[in-house]
Structure 1
Amino acid sequence: MDKQFEEWHTEIMQQIHAAQTLSELQSLRSHWLGRRGIITLAMKGLSSLSIEERRSQGQQLNALRETVLDLLTSRQQEMEMAEETTQLQREQFDMTLPGSWPQTGLLHPITRTRRFIEDVFLRMGFSLEYGPEIEHEWYNFEALNMPANHPARDMQDSFFINVPGMVLRTHTSPVQIRAMKKYQGRLPVRIIAPGRAFRRDDDATHVPMFFQVEGLVIDHGITLADLKGTLTTMAQELLGTDIRTRFRPSYFPFTEPSVEMDVTCASCGGTGCRVCKGTGWVEILGSGMVHPVVLTNGGYDPSQVSGFAFGLGIERLAMRIFGIDDLRLLYQNDMQFLSQFQSYIGRPIL
């Protein structure tokens, strides 16, 4: 072997043996075999030699290169194995250490309340219907007897999007029209429509994004007595037979006559507090007999059939069931707050 190559071989052996870390080994690899390494540049310089010298030195350089690669690879494997052994010795498993319990998940109080409501109405013969959250203004307003520039729209501050005629639905009531269109005049209609709605409200009993359950019944001879009986049964199933309720006259453009249903405030038990604004009552839903215009827009003849509808706020009902005094707490994702309802057994939550 050429004397220069023998010196390189000896030097490489010494350097690889002296290397103590993988980073030092990588530096040696770059120094000798990298793009500008000593052996690499020597191989590039073979082109300036004669054919005989090129053949002789080329064979020696290739042999040296292969030897260096083998030495580097072997030394790297030794270092990695030694490092792994050291780490295993340092991280021995201690059987005496106490174990850790995995954190148990749970359904959000709003989801649990929604499932409870659905169970109650499904047992009463209702079916589930759903509608889009980005709704056309015709379904959200016009079809529900709220034409453009109608003052009733001021009651529902809306989030509009950059698509003409489309809005984040302000209530789940548009599902009434979609359900009537789906049934195409068939009777009876008994549906509930759970889902999200959006309004620019934010206080102890209102949030910009909230959940509702819309209810609709259409058939021959439906009266306000059917509405009151259904909602009273629902309240007793959800809140207990000792719950106090009251119905107050109200106004909704899509029902006539219209009533609001209140239940005893969960925070003060009816004595008056900031949640119920000192009245002792908290409104949980609005309802009434379906307006003839709405029936007509849905494809039904108001002279032949009648119906009632209601919109139930799930958050307010969850506040009543779980004893929460501020609706906004439900949306702060505070696990310490939410976890207190994990073992809740006051009512049979599904």
Structure 2
Amino acid sequence: MRDKLLEIKEIALDRIEKISELEEVEQLRVKYLGKKGDLTSVLRDMGKLAAEERPIIGQVANEIRDELEDAIASVKGKLTEELKRNRINKEKIDITMTTNKKKLGHKHPLLATIEELEDLFISMGFSVVVGPEIETVENNFDALNSPENHPSRDLSDTFYITDDIVLRTHTSPVQIRAMKEMGAPLRIVSAGRTFRFDDVDDTHSPMFHQLEGLVIDENINMANLIHTLDIFIKELFGDDMKTRYRPHHFPFTEPSAEVDVTCLKCRGKGCTACNFTGWSMELLGCGMVHPKVLENCGIDSEKYSGFAFGMGIDRITMVKYGINDIRLLFENDNRFLEQF
């Protein structure tokens, strides 16, 4: 039996040395050391040995078992480490490799225009404030002196969520909130998305962007308004730009006006873009804050006065970049966006 055990040992060690795959390790362990393995099968016959031989053969068997287990553990460790190294080499990333440059995005022309406008007004002493896009009817209409029969309050013009909650139709509610919370004096601008029912075409969209400004202080008059807007327009479009004020009506300002600017294409000389008038389309609306609006916000209209103005950022963006269709601003077509 001793000779049989030594023979099993030599054959097993020889096979273990030749193992090249991790899966073979377990197969050999089962073959020689498992419950039905070769070594176990031989030891089952120990009962046939003389009593004095059993301890000797048992010791030899234990030594062979320990030697085979050590050999199997050793080769398993080597193969596992080799497999790990191969996997690391295969999966590692060479950070020194040159690759094709990734295309990086950039600011959308609308966002770029908003930031440019905000920075411009900040340089003029204004603060930027923001407000919610879902507003109360009180802030969106009532506090702004809009009568209940005003067309803008109709279901055909405004997105109502409930009878008292709407998607804001302009950014003016931000001014109402600011006056109620901060009082006077005040000098702010606010920009953001607004919503109105509208048929989609090259100049109209049910979602658009506005920027509005508000100045409240003592002894504010129309001359202050005109001077502020003239500075703004020259800073935005150039020193040669001229402005034209036309009387208009807004329920929240009195007097009110619409403002035209020199045609950006011909700089006032007259061309097909401006129908040879030298003036571009209306750029913004403005006026002196109605005393009732001040009173609605808790501001003494006898002591304070103010002016407000509002403009469509989409329109300014279109004029600034020569875009002829507002839908291009919202379609996310990279062929269009990469031009800016």
**Structure-2-length-normalised TM-score:** 0.70
Change (3 A) 1:72 1:172: same
Residues 39 and 65, structure 1, Cα contact 8 Å, conserved in 2 = no
Residue ranges of structure 1 left out of the alignment (5+ in a row): 20-24, 342-350
Change (3 A) 1:173 1:39: farther
Report the residue type matching 2:72 in the other structure: V
Task: Tell me the alpha carbon deviations over residues 184-217 of structure 1, each in whole angstroms, 9 at most, x when there is no partner.
Answer: 3x33x22212233334444323444433221112
What residue number does 1:130 align with?
Answer: 130
Residue ranges of structure 2 left out of the alignment (5+ in a row): 47-53
- What is the count of residue pairs matched by the alignment? 314
Distance 1:60 1:208 in 2: 87
- Spell out the pairing of 1:1-350 with structure 2 (5 A cutoff): 11=15, 13-14=17-18, 16-17=19-20, 19=21, 25=22, 27-28=23-24, 42=35, 64-65=68-69, 67-78=71-82, 81=85, 106-146=106-146, 150-154=150-154, 157-159=157-159, 165-184=164-183, 186-187=184-185, 189-201=186-198, 202-264=200-262, 266=264, 271-272=271-272, 281-341=280-340
Change (3 A) 1:3 1:135: farther
Residues 151 and 157, structure 2, Cα contact 8 Å, conserved in 1 = no
Task: Tell me the alpha carbon deviations over residues 151-198 of structure 1, each in whole angstroms, 9 at most, x when there is no partner.
Answer: 32249844555x8844433221111111211233x33x2221223333
RMSD, aligned α-carbons:
4.5
Change (3 A) 1:182 1:87: closer
| SS of aligned partner of 2:214 | strand
Change (3 A) 1:235 1:83: closer
Report the residue type matching 2:187 in the other structure: R
Residues 235 and 243, structure 1, Cα contact 8 Å, conserved in 2 = yes
Distance 1:266 1:228 in 2: 20
Task: Tell me the alpha carbon deviations over residues 40-86 of structure 1, each in whole angstroms, 9 at most, x when there is no partner.
Answer: 9739xx9xx99x99x98898767645533431331243355467779
Residues 267 and 325, structure 1, Cα contact 8 Å, conserved in 2 = no
Change (3 A) 1:242 1:80: same
Change (3 A) 1:87 1:121: closer
Moved more, 214-223 or 243-252: 243-252
| SS of aligned partner of 1:42 | coil
Change (3 A) 1:6 1:303: same
Distance 1:210 1:141 in 2: 18
Change (3 A) 1:42 1:191: same
Report % sequence identity. 43
| SS of aligned partner of 2:35 | helix
Report the residue type matching 1:283 in the other structure: E
| SS of aligned partner of 2:171 | coil
What residue number does 2:50 align with?
Answer: none
Change (3 A) 1:78 1:101: closer
Task: Tell me the alpha carbon deviations over residues 78-121 of structure 1, each in whole angstroms, 9 at most, x when there is no partner.
Answer: 35546777999xx9x89xx8x86675664433333233323332
Distance 1:128 1:86 in 2: 54
Return the index of the structure with the highest Cα Rg.
Answer: 2
Moved more, 264-273 or 200-209: 264-273
Change (3 A) 1:87 1:281: closer
Report the residue type matching 2:188 in the other structure: I
Report the residue type matching 2:117 in the other structure: I
